[in-house]
């Protein structure tokens, strides 16, 4: 009885359960193993087929490239990515005569993972971009790409094209140019190269300048939300050329020379290249205050009125009262023009008085002086 009990002793409950599970798994594995390896084989064959298909497509495309190399792929400097992968069509455009079906196929090809955060630009330098294109497209296509110095990418939103900012400047400033003299035009636009907007519905505006003059003009842009609030501010410049007919020296003019009409000619000049106020060609007579080279504009600062009375000249000094008119010879102590009051010395009394120039030989005494103090003798 005891000997039978020794051979019939059951294992503890834990060991018994462990043995039972191992036997069940062994039997189940023998039955499922063929199915598992069959599924794995099918999956591997599927992946291999896809890989072969992709390689075949790439090979076919490469063959078509070899047959038609008269086109290139120009990669832009800034692009917005819509999905989780960057596609060739989002960052590039064809240049030249490329088959439409081939480009449609290439444009849809995924390249690399898009930036994770929406509205936050990521920059790729030219070497990194070339390496990424080589890995994604292969040597045949990478060698046909025209690369920018750098590529900026943003997921979502939109990118402002330089042409769009250019059009905003022209549309805003063109009506204002009519107020400038002559023929005004815009040139040498210096605008931000890459501007990303976080929302495609943001709008760009240019603030009107307070003072529009020929030359370099500072520009202030604002990006507005749908409610009109300012989202971003940008700056730039543009050059305003203004061509007009202005008086110039027909001959080289010397200092203290009298400006006669024959010495002046009107020429077309760019006012943006002229500093200072240009003479309008009116008034006079004038005297030149500094040398003016031939065909150079005549500035207001270059001219002074030609004196009607020269310093040191002797003229007639007149005092006119209601019932008496007195006159005496006097020496001009300063040069002056008609209508200007200058100091004179009475040659008889040697006293100084002020009188207003009437013409080259006459001055009338100013009010406030009596005849007894101004004159010592009469005609």
pLDDT digits (tens, 9 = 90+) for 84-138: 999 999 999 999 988 899 999 999 999 999 998 888 889 999 999 999 999 998 9
pLDDT tier for residue 60 given thresholds of 50, 70 and 90: low
Q: What is the pLDDT of residue 367?
A: 54
CATH of 71-156, one of 2.60.40, 3.40.50, 3.30.1370, 2.60.480: 2.60.480
290: pLDDT strictly greater than 80: yes
How is 69-119 classified by DSSP, letter by letter?
-SEEEEEPSEEEE-SSEEEHHHHEEEEES--HHHHHHHHT-EEEEPPSSBT
Average confidence score pLDDT of the chain: 82
pTM over 0.75: no
Distance CA 131, CA 277 (A): 58
Tell me which CATH code domain 314-374 carries. 2.30.30.760
274: pLDDT strictly greater than 70: yes
CATH of 244-305, one of 3.90.1210, 3.30.160, 1.10.620, 2.60.40: 3.90.1210
pLDDT tier for residue 15 given thresholds of 50, 70 and 90: low
Q: What is the pLDDT of residue 25?
A: 52
Burial class of residue 81 (count of CB atoms within 10 Å of its CB; 0-12, 13-18, 19+):
buried
How is 234-266 classified by DSSP, letter by letter?
EEEEEEEEEEEEEEEESS-B-TT-EE-GGGEEE
Q: Which two tokens stand for residue 165?
A: 């900012």
Nearest residue to 88 via CA among 133, 54, 154: 133
Q: What is the tens place of the pLDDT at every residue in 187-243?
A: 999 998 888 888 888 889 999 998 899 999 999 999 998 888 998 899 999 999 999
């Amino acid at each position: 009885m005891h000997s039978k009990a020794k051979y019939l002793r059951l294992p503890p409950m834990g060991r018994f359960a462990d043995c039972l599970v191992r036997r069940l798994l062994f039997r189940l594995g023998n039955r499922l193993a063929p199915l598992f390896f069959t599924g794995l084989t099918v999956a591997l064959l599927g992946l291999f087929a896809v890989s072969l298909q992709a390689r075949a497509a790439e090979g076919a495309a490469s063959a078509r490239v070899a047959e038609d190399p008269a086109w290139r792929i120009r990669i832009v400097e800034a692009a917005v990515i819509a999905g989780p992968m960057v596609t060739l069509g989002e960052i590039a455009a064809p240049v030249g005569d490329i088959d439409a079906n081939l480009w449609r196929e290439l444009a849809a090809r995924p390249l690399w993972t898009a930036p994770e955060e929406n509205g936050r630009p990521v920059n790729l330098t030219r070497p990194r971009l070339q390496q990424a294109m080589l890995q994604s497209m292969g040597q045949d296509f990478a060698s046909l790409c025209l690369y920018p110095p750098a590529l900026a990418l943003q997921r979502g939103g939109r990118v402002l094209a330089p042409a769009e900012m250019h059009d905003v400047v022209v549309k805003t400033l063109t009506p204002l140019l009519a107020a400038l003299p002559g023929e005004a035009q815009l040139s040498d636009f210096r605008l931000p190269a890459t501007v990303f907007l976080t929302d495609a519905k943001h709008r760009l505006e240019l603030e009107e300048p307070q003072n529009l003059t020929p030359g370099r003009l500072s520009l202030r842009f604002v990006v507005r939300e749908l409610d009109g609030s300012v989202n971003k501010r940008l700056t730039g410049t543009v050059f305003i050329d203004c061509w007009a007919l202005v008086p110039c020296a027909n001959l080289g003019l010397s200092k203290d020379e009298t400006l006669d009409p024959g010495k002046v000619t009107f020429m077309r000049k760019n006012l943006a290249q002229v500093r200072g106020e240009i003479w309008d060609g009116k008034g006079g007579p004038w005297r030149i205050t500094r040398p003016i080279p031939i065909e150079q504009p005549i500035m207001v600062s270059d001219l002074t009125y030609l004196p009607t009375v020269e310093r040191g000249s002797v003229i007639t000094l007149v005092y006119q009262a209601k019932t008496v008119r007195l006159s005496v010879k006097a020496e001009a102590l300063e040069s002056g023009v008609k209508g200007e009051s200058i100091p004179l010395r009475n040659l008889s009394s040697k006293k100084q008085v002020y009188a207003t120039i009437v013409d080259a030989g006459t001055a009338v005494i100013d009010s406030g002086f009596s005849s007894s103090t101004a004159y010592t003798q009469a005609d």
